Every structure is written in C-alpha cells, then in structure tokens.
Chain A
Amino acid sequence: MALLSTEERRRGESVRERFFADADGLRAVEARTRAVDGIVRDRFDATLGNRPGVAAVAVGGYGRCELFPHSDVDLLLLFGSMRDVERSQDEIGTLIAGLWDAKLVVSQSVRTPRDCTSLARDNTELHISLLDTRFVAGDVSFLRELQDGTLPRFYLRERRSLIRALATKARGRHKSFEDTPYHLEPDVKEGPGGLRDIQLACWMAQLEHVRAGRIPATTECLPSWAKDETLDARRFLFSVRCYLHYHHGRDRNVLTYAMQDAIAQDGDAKAYEGSGPDDMMRDYYRRTRSTYRLARRTMDASLVSTNTLASIFRMRKSRLSNREFAVTKGEIYFRDPHAADHSPGSVLRLFEFQARHGLQLSRTAEQRIRTQLPALRRHVESSAGHWRHLREILRLPHTALALSTMRESGYLPCLIPEFALADSLVIRDFYHRYTVDEHTIRAIGVLKDLPGATGGIDCRFASLLAEVPSPELVCLALLYHDLGKGVKGRPHEESSAEMVKAGVLRIGPADEMARKAVVQLVQDHLAMSTIMTKQDMSEPAVLETFKAGVGTLERLNMLTLMTYADTVAVNPLAALQWRKQLLWRLYRRTRSIFERDHGDKRIRPGTVEDVLDLASDADDRDALAAFLRGFPERYARTHTAAQVRRHAGLAADLRPGRATVSSRRREGFTEIVVICSDRPTLFAALCAGISASGADIVSAEAYIREDGLVLDTFRVIPMPGGELLQFGPRGVQQIERRIRALAEGRLDPSDLVHTEPRTRKRPSTGEPPLVTFDNDTSAGSTILSVCTSDRRGLLADLANTISDAGCSIEVVLGHTQGGAAMDTFYLRKDGAKLGQGTCESLTGRLVGACQIRTG
C-alpha cells in the first residue's frame, strides 16, 4: 500500500513526458497536482477515511494547484477537536509515512479550524498559506466552515499586520538578492521578479479584497494589466522551474549557466524555443523586471493603505509637484497626460525630476513613455541640448534610480542607442554577478553613494571624489564603459571607446576637453586594474608609462574613481578591500609623479609632439612650439590646441611691461585669462582684483614660463549683487581694464574698493583648515596644499599671505567643490624650496587666513 502503484508511477511519468514534449509548465504543475491528489486521497482513505470529522486540505502552492515536480506537498489535516487528533495518532503516522514512501516531500500540519487562526499568530507563512486552501479528501463540511467563516473573519481582522509582515519578509528577501532581478545566475523562485514575487502580488491583492464569507482566488483581484503581465511571466517561469526540478531531481531553482545552456539548447527539453541562452536570459529578465516592479508597486500601495505614517509621508511628497509633473502617493505623473506625445523634451525633464527627488515613476507615466518610444527616438536624433538635462541627471543624488527607470521604460536606448546592446546582456565571468546593464547602473550608484562612506579606505576615495569638479563626466564614462561587450570578436574597451566617441558628440558636453576626457576614461577603464594585478607598480617605468597615458592629474582622479566604481559594482562578495587597497596604492604613487612634474617638468622640443600635431600648418606648429617651450608640461596637457593657439595669439601681441586680459563666457562660468610678465605679489593682486569685482573664483591655474611669462586662468562666477553680474559687456571690459592695471602694476591692490555684494552665508564643510607642506615630491619647489571651507576672497588672502612671507608662486592649481576649496601652490623662496622654519611660520598664518571673515 505504501509504495507507488503502477498506475501512480505511470501518471507521474506521463506528466513528465508531456512536459518534455510541450514545455507547458502551467499544465505540468496542474497535472502533477492532480496526480498527487490521487495519491493523497488513496492513502487518506486507507488510514483516516473511516473517521468522521477529519479532512485532508491542500494549502499553499499545493492548494493553488501549482505543485512543481519536486515541490513540498503542503497538507493540512483538519480535525474537529484535539481529542480527535489524539485518538488518530497512529493513523496520522501511517498516512504521513505512506506519503513519504510514495516519494512525496510532505509538509504536514494537524489542526482544528480554531487552531488555524489562533495558534502561532506570528507565523506569517502559515497564515498566508491558508489563503489558498483546497479540499482533497475526507469531510468537506469542515473546510467550508474554515473557508467561509473562520478564515475570512481572521483575515479581515489581521490583514494590516499580515500585509506589513509580508512586505517586511519580501524586502528582506529582495535585499538578500541585492534588490535586483539581473543576476547572471538567478533564482527563479525566490529571486526578485521570480515566482515568489508574482505570488506576493497575488497575496497582497487577496488580503486587500477579502470580504466577510469569502477569500478571493489567487489571481482574481489583480488589475487586468497585471494579470496579462503575470500570465506571460508565469508561463515562462513555470516551464523553467519544472525543467530545473526534473533535471536535478530535487527542489533546486537556480538557473545556473549550465542550466541556461541546457534549457536553451537541449532539443529534447523544448522548455525554451528561442535562438540560444543569451536570448533566453533576455526573455527571462524582460519578464522578471516587470514582475519585480509589480511586486514593489503592490507592496508600496498596500503599505500606504495600512500604515498611517507612510501615508502621511507620501502625502508630503505631493508638495514636490510642479507645473509639469504631479506627485501623487509618492509617484510621478505627467500633469498633461499627453506631454510625452507633443513635448518629447519633457520626458528627459521627467527623469531629471526623478533624479532630484528619488521618487518612483507612476505606471501611467511609464506606459505613456513606452507608447511614444519611436517618436522619442526621432526627437533625440533630430534635436540637440540633451546634455543639459543628462548632465543634471548624472549630477543629482538619485542618478541610479533615474537611469534604472529610463532603462525599464525603454527610454535609455532612445537616448543612447548603443545601450540596447547591453540590455540584459549576460557575459559569463567568474567574478561578475550581474548583467552588463545592471552592472553599469550599479557602478554609477556606487559613485553616488561614496560621499556617505563612513570609514576605512572608502573615505579616501570619497575625498578624492570631492576633488573632481565634474563627477558627471565619470558617470557618463561609466554609462558607456561596458557597452562594447555587446559587440563580439574584439576587446570590449575598443568597441566601447568607439561608441562613446560618437555618443559624446550627440549627447555629451560641448567642451572639447571634457569630451576627450570621457572618451579616454572609457578607453582606459581597465588600465588600472591591469597594472594592479599584472605589473610591478613599484617599478618607476611602469608608473611613468601609465602616467604618460593618463595625461593629467584630473584624469587620473577620474580614472581612479571609475575603476573604484567598476570594481565595487562587479560583485559585492568579491575581495573588495584587497582590490581597493591595491587601487589606492597605484593612485597615490601615480599622483605623486604628477605632483612632482607639475613643478618640475617643462615643455622641451619633442615633449608635446601630440599637441603640436594638431597645428594647422608648419608656421602654426613653429609658433605653438615657441610659445609652449618652457611652460610646465601640465599646461599643454590640460588645454586644447585651440586654447593654446588663442593664448599664443594673446602673448604675441604683448608689449614689454604690459599685460593682456581676455574674458570669455563659458558653460556656467566666465573664464578670465591674464598674460603678463612675472613680478612679486602678482597672483595675489589678480585674485584681489577679481574678488573686488564681485566675482567668485571657482578654479584657478597659474603657470610661469621659464622666461618669466605668466599665464593665469581664472574661472569665475558672479556673486549676487557684484559688478560682474550687474555689468553688461561694457562692464566686463571695465573689470578687464582693472585687472590689466593690477597686472601691469599701475594699480595698487590696497586701493581697490571692495564692494560687499549681497550674499548668502556659504555652507561650511565644518572641517578645520588643513595646511600641509611637501618638500619631498618636487625637485625644485615646495608643494603647499590647503583644504578648507570656501569663502569669498579666500584665494586672494592665501596668495597674499604667501607673498608676504617672501615666497614666489610658481604654479597654482585651485578649485572649489561642494563648499570646500582645495588649492595647491608650488612655492619657492630665493630660488629654492622653503626651509622648515618658513613652512612652520606659514602654516599658522595660512590657517589664520582660512579662518578670517568666516561666519
């Protein structure tokens, strides 16, 4: 009696054969459920069948008729009273043993109807499994009492706490899978977007719609659009899970690489009839991302309805609404439902809004975008000015969320057509854990989270990020860095570099240096990892070659951060600390060479041939070479040929004792270039003049050619109420005249009238000023670094303090970022490095200069 009968075995085999013939997982699980029902009924009748007041009830997946080949059989034995249970102990034991002997993995519980709702009140799994109860054998009247009376009353009373408990468990489950369905080897049952998430949405809907006397069926209460989406996903996932169970002969649900090959290529299986494992996995992710979204939306909506605090918080978000977008229940909507149709530019603004506020996109807004994708693609192709919004998206705090939504809605491939190549792309790799597109977005997320680093080596990378004036360029490079993986047959970094070259012209920054930097970052994104693990970084030649390839300290900073983000986003379990340490060592050693060369390395014939190669003809080349000779090499590396040509032109007109000042409006700032002969306190006088003109110095670079020609560049923004803002082009000319007079020594800085512009108090970094001297790195100069809260006139005060101490400023690299100023000066005194005494006395005075006029 205990073992499987011939008929039972034949039924089981027939279910399997039929599945391998038609790959219909939905039919297979139902057929297996019916087969198991027969076995249970048979064993029940033989043991408890003659007892009145007992029923065998299928619950959970078995109750829903979704019994996969090796799923547990969740069986509830329902008795009228505990006394009946005690009297039937032997029969219960015989029944369960018989079911195990029949090769069923039974998860049984023995309860009275009252026990079902009163016992184990914290046992969410039990209570949720009772949402799907189905009579199998015995006394059906018991089940009716349970289904029509006890359970609905219980759910009506407890549904809020059950929904909260369900959501908490689901969040924990999602977190254990890093909140993404894009795992290279996903779990089709428990993974985000997997079968458990479909069921989660169903359970939430069932609990929401339970009424006195009735619990809705499992998919009955889903919205119609969700039914369509889940039906497609269920059909696919059921087939895959059936195949995994049959293949392993047990309840294993991870779609490993081997199983992906087997399902996609096994002619006998026919569980998937696409063209190969890559296509199959794309289909997999397409479905699971939609079910994952459904699960999250359902959780969010249910939580708002059950949690007053969450509801209030959501309502407050409504205040973020503007004339284009409305925020309702924490989701973003187009105010004009047809905005995506007649104003395609609003879509990019919508994602900018999302990147700013970190809110989810409503389903209706997403649907609108989806239906307009062809028109949106044409709009992107035929219009310009996308960088302004893309730059904001990449700068704002919730970039990863916005990019993720752009991908899911299909808009990202409109903006960056090459992104389609990486969409759900599986590249099998020992270390990688996610698809290429997910890895890309995660890498950007890593960069965004970096300022919140609380300790260890991450803090060093965080302070490096604070030094980068345009972190959006690193994000843009990250967006492209792995797209070449979608092109087979060549190194992906080459393909990615080609894509980004075209991409930055279409949607990238107007600034040529910025575009070059992005292309180079993509091209070299593996360089640091390669050196870290393949080359001896204690070998000076290795570092010199690497440094020459990188070109500038700014690009090294960006490349380091890009490598950091790329490494961390590969796999959260990889040996990250080890890699971060190696990366930091390489960075510090290379940076040290840059710092040395900024003061020491001058342009000589043959050193910047690549810059000269950009000359238009031989005369142009000679003129550029003559102008460049004797400048620090950094100057040539940080300026385009056009900029060098312009500076050379300005210098050519310079008469002895005179200065030339030229200003230009650039994207977001005004650039003032001063060329003149060197003299003591010059840099301090120029800073004071700019400051007195009501301009704020965002960044400054000062170079002295060996023959004493000074080339100082200031990037300034107007202070509210300052002259620079008030004056038109003629006013700017007045400021130029003032700076020229200062440069030529015709105006004494102490005669400047400082107008105090109306200005709001600046945000302070809260950190005390850091002043350090380095007498080891450079052969000829002392390197002074000052890191402090920025304030108006800071650079002028620092330069004055340095000049007052009798020091000459050879090179200045200064910029402000996020309320902090980071200035580096290369100093000499009497033609040599500064002595210990000078450094010590200057430290206190510089700290004092940082602190004056603050607050």
Chain B
Amino acid sequence: MKKIEAIIQPFKLDDVREALKSCGHDRLTIYDVRGHGRQKGHKEVYRGQEYEVDLLPKVKLETIVPDGRLDEVVKTIIEAARTGKIGDGKVFVSDVSTAIRIRSGEEGDDAI
C-alpha cells in the first residue's frame, strides 16, 4: 500500500476529486494548508505598509492506494491539478505498512 500526499492549488480541488472519482478512487482526506516551495515568499506593499507574504494557501489531499493502483492515481492527480504555472504543487508517495478499518477490524487492502 502507498500513501499519496498531494499539495495542489485550492481551485483545482474539485477537478482532482472529479478525476479521481472517474477513475474509481473516491477516498480522500483534505486539508486546508499554507506553505511555500522553492519560490518562498514575497513582500507586498499595501497603503505604504510592507507585508511579508510567505505562506500561500494550498490544499493538501491524502489518500492510500493499493500498490497496483499507484501509478494510475498519481497520474490522475497530476493531470487534473496541472495548470503549467508556478505553484501547481507537488505529489509525494510513501510506503504504508498496513491499514485497519476500526469498525470491522479488516486489514490491508480490504481496509482502504
């Protein structure tokens, strides 16, 4: 099993959800997050006052997939979230040793 964590633009959330639903994967956890990548922040002047705009609003989504579906799901996320501009975000993949459904006690892929 793999865990996919994707940081995407907030306005791309609906597109990504729809795309994942279309490919038969609709289990997601969503967070509203703020952060920055390589670009870091910038200074903004408003009415003569200078503000540091260093953390930009993004959406983070997490999902766990069986190994066999990893490539398809990652590809789906990337295609749906891409605008081609700076700030599109990133996808991280990591191993998950197991999953357990609390209600039924099912384990492994069955619990996803």
A residues with CB within 8 A of B: 460, 463, 531-538, 575, 577-579, 581-582, 585, 588, 770-772, 785, 787, 822
Task: Provide the residues of chain A in CB contact with B47, threshold 8 Å.
Answer: 463, 770, 772, 785, 787, 822
Tell me the bound Cα distance from A536 to B89 in angstroms. Answer: 14
Does B37 reach chain A (CB closer than 8 Å)? no
**Top 4 A-B residue pairs of the complex, sorted by shortest distance between their CB atoms:** A770-B48, A575-B32, A578-B32, A581-B57
B79 at the interface (CB under 8 A from A): no
CA distance A534 to B55 in the complex (A): 20
**Whole-angstrom CA separation of A822 from B47 in the bound complex:** 9
B48 and A785: CB pair below 8 A?
A: yes
Contact of A578 among B11, B33, B44 (CB under 8 A): B33
Within 8 Å of chain A (Cβ to Cβ): is B63? no
Contact of B10 with A533 in the complex, beta carbons under 8 Å: yes
**Least Cβ–Cβ distance between B61 and chain A, in angstroms:** 14
The answer to whether B57 touches A787, judged by C-beta atoms less than 8 angstroms apart, is no
The residues in B between 14 and 49 inclusive whose CB is less than 8 angstroms from any CB of A are: 14, 32-34, 44-49
Contacts of A787 in B (CB 8 A): 47-48
- Nearest residue, chain A, Cβ from B44: A588
B51, A460: Cβ atoms closer than 8 Å? yes
Interchain Cβ contacts under 8 Å between A and B, 12 examples: A460-B46, A533-B11, A534-B11, A536-B11, A579-B32, A581-B34, A581-B56, A585-B56, A588-B44, A772-B45, A772-B47, A787-B47
* Given A463-B49, A538-B83, A772-B47, 6 additional A-B pairs, CB 8 A: A460-B46, A575-B32, A578-B57, A581-B34, A772-B48, A787-B48
* A719–B85 alpha-carbon span in the complex (Å): 55
Please indicate the chain B residues that have their CB under 8 angstroms from the CB of A585 in the complex: 53, 56-57
Q: How far is the CA of A188 from the CA of B112 in the complex (A)?
A: 37
- Closest B residue, CB atoms, query A575: B32
In the docked arrangement, what's the CA distance between A579 and B46, Å? 19
Query: Are B55 and A581 in contact (CB-based, < 8 A)?
Result: yes
Say if the beta carbon of B7 comes within 8 Å of chain A: no
A578 touches B34 (CB 8 A): yes
Q: How far is the CA of A463 from the CA of B51 in the complex (A)?
A: 13
A residues less than 8 Å from B10 (CB atoms)? 532-533, 582
How far does the Cβ of A587 sit from chain B's closest Cβ, in whole Å? 10
Cα separation A770 to B46 with both chains bound (whole Å): 11
| Interface-centre pick from A534, A575, A578 (highest chain B CB count, 10 A) | A578
Q: Out of A531, A538, A577, A770, name the residue touching B87 (CB < 8 Å).
A: A538
C-alpha spacing A538/B39, complex, angstroms? 15
Across-interface contacts of A575 in B (CB, < 8 A): 32
Is B64 close to A, CB under 8 A?
no
Q: Is the CB of B85 within 8 A of A538?
A: yes
Return A595 CB to nearest CB of chain B, in Å. Answer: 12
Interface residues on B, range: 20 to 34
- Bound-state CA distance A773–B46 (Å) is 12
Q: How far is the CA of A647 from the CA of B87 in the complex (A)?
A: 48
Complex Cα–Cα for A772 and B87 (A): 29
**Which residues of chain A are near B45, meaning CB under 8 Å?**
772
B13 contacts the other chain (CB 8 A): yes
| Chain B residues with CB below 8 A from A771, complex form | 48
Most chain A CB inside 10 Å of its own CB: which residue of B13, B34, B46:
B46
| Docked complex Cα distance between A772 and B50 (Å) | 11
CA gap between A460 and B50 in the complex, in Å = 10
Nearest chain-A residue to B14 (Cβ)? A534
Contact with A along B72-98 (1 / 0, CB 8 A): 000000000001010100000000000
Nearest-neighbour CB distance to chain A for B7, whole angstroms, equals 13
The smallest beta-carbon distance between B53 and chain A, in angstroms, is: 8
Q: How far is the CA of A585 from the CA of B44 in the complex (A)?
A: 10
CB distance from B27 to the nearest CB of A (A): 18
Q: Which residues of B contact A770 (CB under 8 A)?
A: 47-49
Chain B residues, CB < 8 A from A577: 34
CA distance A188 to B11 in the complex (A): 39
A575 and B55 alpha carbons, distance in the complex (Å): 14
Residue in chain B with minimal CB distance to A574: B32
Please indicate which of the listed interface residues B34, B45, B47, B51 has the most CB atoms of chain A within 10 Å of its own CB: B47
Q: When A463-B47, A538-B87 are in contact, do A532 and B55 touch as well, CB less than 8 Å?
A: no
Q: Do the beta carbons of A533 and B13 come within 8 Å of each other?
A: yes
Contact of B46 among A531, A538, A578, A588 (CB under 8 A): A588
Residue of B with least CB distance to A535 = B11
**B57, A582: Cβ atoms under 8 Å?**
yes
Q: Which of B33, B45, B49 is packed against the most chain A CB atoms within 10 Å?
A: B49
- A578-B56 Cα distance, complex, nearest whole Å: 8
Distance, CA A575 to CA B34, complexed state (A): 10
**Whole-angstrom distance between the alpha carbons of A535 and B14 in the complex?**
10
Which residues of chain B are near A588, meaning CB under 8 Å? 44, 46
Once the chains are docked, how many angstroms separate the CA of A674 from the CA of B45? 34
- Which residues from chain B contact A463 at a C-beta distance below 8 Å? 46-47, 49
* B51 contacts across to A, CB distance below 8 A: 460
User: How distant is A814 from chain B, measured CB to nearest CB, in Å?
Assistant: 14
Nearest chain A CB to B105's CB is how many angstroms away? 23
* Alpha-carbon gap, A538 to B32, bound state (A): 19
Closest to A457 in B: B51
B residues near A533, Cβ cutoff 8 Å: 10-11, 13
Q: Nearest-CB distance from A795 to chain B (Å)?
A: 18
Measured CB to CB, the nearest residue on chain B to A583 is B57
Residues of B within 8 A of A579 (CB): 32, 57
Residue with the greatest number of chain B CB neighbours at <10 A, chosen from A532, A536, A785: A536
A152 CB → nearest B CB, Å: 54
Assembled-state Cα–Cα distance A771/B10 (Å): 35
Interface pair B11/A537, CB less than 8 Å apart: yes
Q: Across the interface, which residues of B come within 8 angstroms of A578, CB to CB?
A: 32-34, 57
Q: Which residues of B contact A822 (CB under 8 A)?
A: 47
CA–CA, A460 to B44, complex, Å?
Answer: 11
- Per the bound structure, the CA–CA distance linking A771 and B48 in Å amounts to 7
Please, which residue of chain B has its CB at the minimum distance from the CB of A822? B47
A451 to chain B, nearest CB (A): 15
CB distance from A536 to the nearest CB of B (A): 6
A298 to B33, CA, bound (A): 44
Chain A residue nearest to B45 (CB atoms) is: A772
Q: Which residues of A have CB within 8 Å of B87?
A: 538
Shortest CB distance A110–B (Å) = 41
For the complex, give the distance between the alpha carbons of A534 and B10 in Å. Answer: 7
Among B33, B45, B57, B83, the one with the most A-chain Cβ atoms within 10 Å of its Cβ is B57
Please report the C-alpha to C-alpha distance between residue A785 and residue B9 in the assembled complex, in whole angstroms.
Answer: 33
A581: nearest residue on chain B (CB-CB)? B57
User: Taking the nearest CB of chain A, how far is it from the CB of B35, in angstroms?
Assistant: 11
> What residues on B are CB-neighbors of A535 within 8 Å?
11
